[in-house]
Chain A
Amino acid sequence: MQKRNYDRRIKITPDGKRTVVSFVLLVFFLIIMYLVQPSLMKPSRLITITNGQLCLLLGGIGQTLVLLAGGIDLSIGGVICLSNSIAALYMPDSIPGMILMSLLIAALGVGIGMFNGVIITRFHVQPFVVTFTVNYVLLGIALKLLPIDGGEPPARYVSGLLHNFGIFSLSMILVILILAGWVFMRRTRFVRNIYAVGCNAKASALNGIDVSKVKIMTFALSGGLAALAGLWRTAQLASGSPDAGDALTMPSITISVIGGTSMAGGMGGVVGTVVGAYILRLIQDLLTFLGAKSFWSTVFQGVFLVMTVGVCSVIDMKKGGKKNG
């Protein structure tokens, strides 16, 4: 008889188990949405939602990566605003120019993220203080460049990014690419190291992982993704705003946590974050449908953040408690 050293059945990963909850929530809200407003359940609606949420989604993915490695990035909103303002003002009207400009802006985001990471790891300052202050400066620079909402990105840029291919929009294709990219990346050494550092930085160092480097990389990625989010926002709004994007930092944490990412690091993943972005939108739509005024949506944002983080933290504490006696 052949000796079998592994079970061929598919197993759900511990991260997967956390993500399942977010899928269940998504289905739950979809059903409610269908019950209250069946007319909204059509493919074109998916395009609208995806176009609307892609900016938050990109920022949320960056946040997820940072959280996975045990940090937090409060500068996501600032990077989005800065990138949005630069793109709205200076995006040239030629294809190569657009590509070059976008690359420059993305590089700027990566640079800001790296700066965060280097300061945090080199001087042992808490991530939230550094990123909070950097965020403040970035918002100031954005305001300097673009004192009031405005700026006009070239029409070709806007229509190009918002282009639809039949029932698919570019944004949906991007989301699918992101998910596929993550599934591919998940098994690279780089991503495994992020998880390892978030789980136990000390043990990771013993295993020969350069903890500082991993942390800096997550902040750099987060900055880069936030810059991309700003580029998307420019197309989506066809204009720029020096401060509106700042409100995205908090939901970026919210969608990471609904998606199953632990604020303590090492647990969760990007798939959950993507689902989280859709859940958040569904709930907001529901609130609008129920006739809630906009300030209720603000209250809800806060309640939802605190509730999800609180529930996850209590569950994790209970689990940890069981293990540690």
Chain B
Amino acid sequence: MADFEMRHISKSFGNVHALEKANFSANRGDCMGLLGENGAGKSTLVKILCGVEKEDEGEVILFGKKMHRRTPREAMEEGVRVVHQELSLIPNGTVAENLFMTDRESIFGRKTLKSLTEKAAALFEKFDVTDLDANEYVSDIPLAKCQKIEILKALAFDFEILVLDEATSALTEKDVEWLFGLVRKLSKEGKIIIFISHRLQEINSICERITIFRNGTSVCEAKRDEMDTDQMVTLMLGRKMAGYYPERCDCMTEEVLLHVEDLRNNELNGISFDLHAGEILGVGGLSGQGQAALFEALYGAAPVGGKILIRGKEHKLHDTSAALKNGIALIPEDRGSQGLALPLSVKENITLASLSKIRKGPFLSATKENELVAEMIEKLQIKTDTPEVPVVTLSGGNQQKVVLAKQLLVGPDILLMYDITRGVDVGTKREMFNLMLDHCQEGKAILFFSTDTEELVHMCNSIYVMFEGKFKERLCGSAMTEENIIRVSVGEAAV
């Protein structure tokens, strides 16, 4: 039996099974790499470990003893320290205050800044940190250093298990080196380190063992040197059910619908591309590389620098209604928070973006509305008893179709589709793909981001892979393979 084990962990959110009987184990002194595509269940596993979520089933055992972790605090007290992906620093506290924020002293226990600063200095000395000032206020510190503070915060107290969840994403190269040295030292001391990263290179250089997750379960646990990159990529992808993709049509023309030049904001690093009539242009890469920022910028939902030309004419998209007017519509990623007003009816949601179409005098025409809604329900085959039911009662796939119906009703030339197939069943996926092709055959175009690489390969005319706010590589023709997408996503070169 291993020193640390998570056994048969299951967790579902509504109908979505995030984890299904997942196993994970590690021994003292291990630096365990945790790999998987988006949605494979890595972050849910971490959340369960640190007490943010409660598992539906299964148990967590440390040194042969079952752990209770009802709250994050209890998890900390049992020796679990997590460096979360998101920063959780208090900007108006000093570095030292932030480092010891999770201190277990009594509630009215007081620490003078001086004593905290001295403690921090000792900590810095211990972990060989020279570029941080314990007295500096976090609000004055650049982002790259904030992540370092976040790591030190976890190190400030005794722990048995240290989880680094994408902890290197904002670090400089030098700091990554520093972190690796530290990880090696800690694992020598017998700590258990769990390392999650989207950079395969990093996993290769630091982890002795790796566990690969796919679809909510662990599919492989092995020594790192027993595997090469290709095997890892194959395991991450798995063998997926194929054959439900429609025949690709070649309706792409030379006409440029959308020309984008050097888009920049704090997440985008200069993006340029052309989108042609009849084209499905894929955007790949692991999530969090700026895809959301790109789509929001094109939809006028976020400010951006650079040029956007629609049918050769430059437009400044100040807000979403300007984008819709110029024929750009976004199908957002998260139905619940961006796509649908869940308690409102199917009908009200479908017509929400095109209220001007059903206006008759000052009022909305019920006849016209019902007509259009019935048409969309028919076209997209939305399964609902009547269009009057709250959209929240529909299944995930049908909800996604309602979002599609809402935006298609506007009649856009350019559809921005952001990971629309997540949590959608196979049948619905196929219908959506057919719709995409229909859309293109009408001489319109689609910008398609998906975390499912297989979809990209089967649906797109060409694919840009995004990495750290840039289009890292354009894949087309025979180079358009799942392996290549994953390779570029994790910072390797395409073959």
Contact = CB atoms under 8 A, between A and B. Distances in A.
B120 interface: yes
Contacts of B107: 188-190, 193
A42 interface: no
Interface string B65-99: 00000011101100000101011111111101100
Contact of B71 (A11, A192, A208, A324): A208
Contacts of A3: 125, 130
Contact of B84 (A14, A187, A206): A206
Interface stretch (B111-119, B193-201, B269-277, B360-368): B111-119
B88 A204 contact: yes
A90 B52 CA distance: 50
Contact of A13 (B88, B92, B103): B92
B396 to A, nearest CB: 25
Interface string B105-134: 111111111001100110011000110111
Contacts of A192: 90, 93, 97, 101
Interface string A172-213: 000000000000110111101101100110011111111000
A267 interface: yes
A51 B91 CA distance: 36
A200 B88 contact: yes
Contact of A6 (B93, B101, B112, B134): B134
Nearest to A322: B266
A5 interface: yes
> Which of B72, B76, B92 has the most chain A CB atoms closer than 10 A to its own CB?
B92
Interface residues of A, number: 33
A187 B97 CA distance: 9
Interface string A3-34: 10111100101110000000000000000000
Contacts of A267: 92
B135 A205 contact: no
A266 interface: yes
Contacts of A185: 110
A163 B125 CA distance: 54
Contacts of B120: 5-6
A208 B117 CA distance: 22
Name the residue among A7, A207, A267 with the largest chain B CB count within 10 angstroms.
A207
A312 to B, nearest CB: 15
Contacts of B50: 206
Given A7-B135, A187-B113, A196 B101 contact: yes
B73 A324 contact: no
Interface string A132-151: 00000000000000000000
Contacts of B111: 187-189
Contacts of A266: 90, 92
B130 A6 contact: no
Contacts of B302: 325
B137 interface: yes
A13 B136 contact: no
A13 B116 CA distance: 15
B139 interface: yes
A11 B109 contact: no
A199 B125 contact: no
Contacts of A324: 266
Interface string A198-238: 01100111111110000000000000000000000000000
A3 B117 CA distance: 14
B84 to A, nearest CB: 6
A280 B72 CA distance: 43
B305 to A, nearest CB: 9
A208 B134 CA distance: 22
Nearest to B117: A6
A255 B166 CA distance: 43
B12 interface: no
Interface of A: 3, 5-8, 11, 13-15, 184-185, 187-190, 192-193, 195-196, 199-200, 203-210, 266-267, 324-325
16 contacts: A3-B125, A5-B124, A5-B133, A6-B96, A13-B94, A14-B91, A14-B92, A14-B139, A187-B110, A189-B103, A189-B110, A190-B108, A207-B101, A208-B76, A209-B73, A325-B303
Interface of B: 50, 52, 71-73, 75-76, 82, 84, 86-94, 96-97, 101-103, 105-113, 116-117, 120-121, 124-125, 129-130, 132-137, 139, 265-267, 302-303
Given A6-B96, A14-B91, A203-B86, 6 more contacts: A13-B137, A187-B112, A195-B90, A196-B101, A205-B72, A206-B82
